[in-house]
Structure formats: C-alpha cells, structure tokens
Amino acid sequence: MNGVDHVNDVDLKVLDLQADLPLLERWLRSPHVVRWWGTQDLHLTALAQRSKDSHAVITADGRQVGYLCWQRSSPAEFEAAGLTDLPEDLVDIDILIGEPEFLGRGVGPRAMVLLLARLGGEGVRFAGVGTSISNRPAIRAFEKAGFRLFRDFEDPESGPCRYMVAQLHGAVEAGGSDGRPLHGRRLSQGIRPIRNEKETAQQRIERVTREEVAIAPYDPAWAESFRRERDYLRSCLPTYLIRRIEHFGSTAVPGLAAKPIVDILIEVTDLQATRGQIAPLLEGQGYEYFWRPTHGDDGPPYYAWFIKREARTGARTHHIHMVEGHFTEHWDRLLFRNYLIDHPEIAKEYAALKSRLASTSRRDRVGYTRGKTDFIVGVTERAKRYYGRA
C-alpha cells in the first residue's frame, strides 16, 4: 500500500468504546497525532464521557483508520480565543487520521462531508473546526470538505491557529465565499439569505423558472469564469466522485450572444453519492440544488443541478449539471457546442432565435427552453453525422 493508492469507500462506524479503545489509545500515541492533538490522557478522559452519537470511527475500504467527534461547545469555551461571534448553534468538530499510510489520500475530507450531511439532516446550520496554522494539510482538507476561514487566533498551548466554518443549509450564502475571512462582521451580516426557509420545493421551482431571461453580447470573460469555477470545484469536491468537467452552452461558443450564465457539465461516478455528499456541501456554500428531470416536469433520467449566484445581487453566474457518463443526451450537448463553433452561420441563426424567444418569454424560462428544443435537436443530429457519431 502506498500514498497514491485509491480509496474506494469511506464510511463512519458507530464507536464501540470497549472494543475500539485500544485502537484509539494507539492512534493518540502516534507521533503524527501527538504533534497536533497533544498528549492522550485528556482526550481519553473526554472520550469516555461522550454519548455514542457524538463520535465515530472512520473506515476506509473496511479498515478502521481514524476518529471523528463533535459537540455543541459553549460560548465560554470560544471566548478565551476571542471567537465571540460564532453562531450559537455551531457544532464543533475534531478529526484525526490514525493510520499514517492513509494520510493525504482524501479520507479526511470525505469523512467530514459524510458528517456534515448527517448534521445537516439533523437541522444543524453551522459546523466549525480549528487547527494550527502550520497544519497546512489539515487546512486544505477542511477546505475540500466545504469549510472556510472564520478567523485566525492565538491559542495559549498551540500558538497561531485557524478556525473554519461550514454552513450546512442552502438558505444562506457564505459571506466569506470570496476567500476573505468572515471575522470583523457579525455572521448575520456576513451571510445573505437566498430563499425563504418556509419556501416549498414547488415554490422554489416556480421562483427560478420565472426569473428574467436576458440575452447579452458575447463576453470573453465567460471562458475565464468557467476555468475559475472548474478549478474551485475540483479543489473542494470529493475527487473520487468527479471525472470530466466541461464548459458547454452558448457561453462556450466564442462570439455567440447568450444569457450571462456559464453552463458547466460534470461527469460524476455515482449520482446517489452526489446527492448525499456533494449536494449538502455545495448547498452549505450557497448554491441552490435541484434534483432535476431531463425531460419536462417528470421525465427521467434525473440529475443533480445547481445554481450559483453573485453574492451581492443574487444574479445567476453558473449552472452546474452533474450527470453520470452514460447520460448520452447530456453529453451530446458538447457536439452541439462544437458544431456551433465550427459553423458560425448556424450560431448566428441560433442567436437570432434566442433573441426572439427572450423577448416573447421574458419571465418564462420553461417556455424559452422549449422554444429552442427543435433547433437544438436538429443541429445535434447534424453534428452527430458531421463528427461521425451517428
């Protein structure tokens, strides 16, 4: 086994204190754990007092490799570090990977994503984690799991430390999603509601389908916006779930007028795992998530669809479509894109059609989409023949 071996399955197992205690004692004595956790006595005392639903063993491909614990810490526990403006309902998390050969293999972020999904299902809105600023691997792992910088602080025992927060519900967008720390602002001011908590699923759908359709001249910045979002998603999503990431739609065709929303098509290895692990992670960062039919109101196959918005205005910036590799109809959209690039005269016809539809279906995104369908289907069939895919 080596540091590049792929870990297929990560899970959380209920901790059996009596059976698992010798393993935990060994992990807490390991030099790579002592470096960040300190001596084991205090941790073992606290561990014995925990309820079974506040900690778990991390397994990787069936092997026990690490430990997670979580608790609602009192404000007094954070005051000593100057963390006085954390959300009152925040759940604080600690994690260790005890088996050194599993360090740096993505086990920690995947375990954290599983825990965040569980906590989100229990109604938790915020989770936090702290570590030494010098523990760069841990900070990168927490970022991949969806945590963002809240504040750097000085710990009397550990020295300079960093506290990071993940927001678990799609009802808020992180004020620090631009990479700036959230401290210096009240958290209630640092997040922006993007939908009413009482909004039903049907009301959400009606809201997004009635948003204005507006066509803008081609902007070369769209290509860079795609690259930035692609790189960001690769940095924070579980690597074992993500394969291809493609820029498609009109913003991917140089010179073509389009809605100023970058469409991104992502191949995932498992849509059900995407629903359980990626959806909570992105919702926690302010993306809106829909389990969407490919055809009409209820036409399978279903796929994961996300809207990303500009934090200040609420304007859409990206549509992210996550499908599996066998979703042929979705991947055919790349043929449509390529054909428009190779045939500018067809792209001009498409631009004219979209402009007409935008004027007649300004607040009807469903009607706008349906109005393009025959053109897209026809051109896609021509593209298949042209590229030898028919």
Assigned token pair, 156: 């009397």
- Confidence band of 135 (pLDDT split at 50, 70, 90): very high
Question: Is the pLDDT score of 170 beyond 70?
Answer: no
Phi-psi region of 314 (alpha: psi -120 to 50; beta: other; left: phi over 0): left
- Confidence band of 193 (pLDDT split at 50, 70, 90): very low
- pLDDT, residue 321, reads 98
Residue that is written with structure tokens 């430990």 in the block: 67
| Structural domains in the chain plus CATH codes | 10-193 (3.40.630.30), 201-386 (3.30.460.10)
pLDDT mean across residues, the chain: 85
At 99 the three-state DSSP class reads coil
The dihedral over CA atoms of 156, 86, 76, 47, expressed in degrees to the nearest 10, equals -80
Assigned token pair, 251: 């913003």
- pLDDT, residue 189, reads 28
More confident residue, 206 or 53: 206
Length of the chain: 390
Cβ contact 229:246 at 8 Å: no
Q: d(Cα 107, Cα 96) in Å, to the nearest integer?
A: 10
As a whole number, mean pLDDT of residues 233-248 equals 88
What pTM was estimated for this model as a whole? 0.59
- pLDDT, residue 43, reads 66
Pairing type for strands 148-155 and 172-173 reads: unpaired
Q: d(Cα 170, Cα 286) in Å, to the nearest integer?
A: 5
Among 374, 368, 359, smallest CA distance to 209 is for 368
Could you write out the DSSP letters of every residue in 25-86?
HHHHHSHHHHHHH--HHHHHHHHHTS-GGGEEEEEETTEEEEEEEEE---HHHHHTTT-TTS
Q: d(Cα 252, Cα 169) in Å, to the nearest integer?
A: 31
- pLDDT, residue 41, reads 63
Residue type, 176: G
Q: d(Cα 333, Cα 336) in Å, to the nearest integer?
A: 5
- pLDDT, residue 64, reads 96
Chain CA centroid to CA 93, Å: 19
- pLDDT, residue 182, reads 36
At 310 the three-state DSSP class reads coil
- pLDDT, residue 86, reads 85
Residue that is written with structure tokens 């938790």 in the block: 124
